[in-house]
Amino acid sequence: MKRRDLLHYLNRQGCRFVREGQEHSIWENPAKNRRTSVPRHREIPNFTVARICKYLRIPVPF
């Protein structure tokens, strides 16, 4: 999945951007009080997208 598509999806699910790290962006789901990192690659593997969504407790987009 393209990174920009994932970020748009996270926004639509109610997650918000917290800050930029060295190699990752930090996103949180304020409704579930969960934070995770999103790698800064153009393409993010589907298993990584699934793990990010699972940790943030939102549905997987595919």
Q: How many CB atoms lie within 10 A of CB 3?
A: 16
Would you state the pLDDT for residue 62? 84
Output the pTM of the full model.
0.91
Would you state the pLDDT for residue 40? 95
Q: How many CB atoms lie within 10 A of CB 22?
A: 5
Structure confidence by residue, pLDDT tens digits, 46-57: 999 999 999 999
The residue ranges of DSSP E strands in the chain, in sequence order, are 16-20, 24-29, 34-39
Structure confidence by residue, pLDDT tens digits, 32-48: 999 999 999 999 999 99
